[in-house]
């Protein structure tokens, strides 16, 4: 695991944009496509703004990217809470990724059917062994959740299915999500975490005992690289240097 401590969200977004651009270039020198899973939340929006503008937009071969999502709220694509809508508004509408290579989690069908359909798509891309995604971008909530793996929910312990759906009573909505086994087969995973409200959870996730029922982000242990890009406010409680 590599920890990148950034001055603020602007610095964090710039460092992540530089790192992603390098990772894409390096990967595409060795293979024909780059598979990325995007996250929701507010932190990625600045990153998307950078990637969709000069110079990053011109340095990335967007035609070879294949885009997925880590999780989704079961609300219509037109709803501002929809993770895919945010990504289209801030990034995908401004770069040249072929639509056939953009795989949204459908919210116009039953959530369970949507999860099953998404798993079928993933299985066509990735075999049963080796790496899955070239990069998964993740956020972490102030409760320690990532993806739709919320504290105290059974999905935190799902070991077989690559995707699932469930009703989250606290939000009064269904969620569709990747599970940790498929994410943990990724070549690279990067958490983007900012704000003093994340400091307590970050300290427990990185320095506390393994307690995924309370801090689900701890189940993310990829075969490949694990990076945490955090701002100084989020890192304020950390005692160790990584």
The per-residue pLDDT string of the chain (242 residues; one tens digit each, 9 = 90 and over) reads 999 999 999 999 999 999 999 999 999 999 999 999 999 988 899 999 999 999 999 999 999 999 999 999 999 999 999 999 999 999 999 999 999 999 999 999 999 999 999 999 999 999 999 999 999 999 999 999 999 999 999 999 999 999 999 999 999 999 999 999 999 999 999 999 999 999 999 999 999 999 999 999 999 999 999 999 999 999 999 996 55
**Residue 242 domain flag:** no
**Residue 204 domain flag:** yes
**Residue 43 domain flag:** yes
**Residue 214 domain flag:** yes
Backbone angles phi, psi at 231, to 5 degrees: -90, 170
**Residue 155 domain flag:** yes
Helix-helix angle 9-28:43-51, to 10 degrees: 50
| CA 124/CA 64 separation, integer angstroms | 17
211: CATH:
3.40.50.1360
- Side-chain-side CA neighbours of 111 within 13 Å: the count stands at 17
**Rounded-to-5 percentages of helix, strand, coil across the chain:** 40, 20, 40
| CA 228/CA 26 separation, integer angstroms | 20
185 within 8 A of 222, measured Cβ to Cβ: yes
| CA 142/CA 225 separation, integer angstroms | 23
| Host domain of residue 71 | 2-234
Find all residues with CB under 8 Å of 217, minimum gap 6, and list them. 138, 140, 144, 145, 146, 149, 191, 201, 205
Q: What is the pLDDT of residue 42?
A: 85
pTM for this entry: 0.97
**Residue 103 domain flag:** yes
Quick one: DSSP state of residue 238? -
- β 135-139/34-38 pair status: parallel
The domain total for the chain is 1
- CA 38 vs. chain centroid, Å, equals 5
CA gyration radius, the chain: 17
| CA 219/CA 181 separation, integer angstroms | 9
* Backbone region of residue 87 per phi and psi (left: phi > 0; alpha: psi in -120 to 50; beta: other values): alpha
208 within 8 A of 215, measured Cβ to Cβ: yes
**Residue 49 domain flag:** yes
**Residue 239 domain flag:** no
């Amino acid at each position: 695991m590599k920890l990148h401590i950034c001055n603020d969200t602007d610095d964090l977004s710039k460092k992540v944009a530089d790192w992603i651009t390098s990772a894409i270039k390096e990967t595409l020198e060795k293979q024909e496509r780059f598979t990325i899973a995007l996250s929701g939340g507010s932190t990625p929006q600045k990153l998307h703004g950078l990637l969709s503008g000069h110079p990053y937009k011109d340095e990335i071969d967007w035609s070879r990217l294949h885009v997925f999502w880590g999780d989704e709220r079961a609300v219509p694509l037109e709803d501002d809470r929809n993770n895919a809508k945010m990504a289209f508004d801030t990034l995908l509408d401004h770069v040249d990724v072929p639509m056939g290579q953009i795989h949204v989690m459908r919210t116009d069908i039953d959530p369970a059917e949507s999860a099953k359909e998404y798993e079928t798509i993933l299985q066509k891309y990735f075999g049963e062994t080796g790496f899955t995604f070239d990069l998964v971008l993740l956020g972490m909530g102030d409760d320690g959740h990532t993806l739709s793996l919320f504290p105290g929910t059974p999905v935190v312990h799902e070991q077989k299915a690559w995707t699932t759906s469930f009703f989250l009573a606290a939000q009064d909505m269904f969620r569709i999500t990747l599970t940790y086994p498929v994410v943990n087969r990724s070549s690279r995973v990067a958490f983007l975490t900012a704000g003093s409200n994340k400091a307590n959870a970050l300290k427990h996730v990185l320095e506390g005992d393994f307690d995924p029922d309370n801090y689900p982000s701890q189940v993310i242990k990829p075969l490949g690289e694990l990076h945490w890009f955090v701002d100084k406010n989020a890192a304020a409680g950390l005692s160790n240097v990584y």
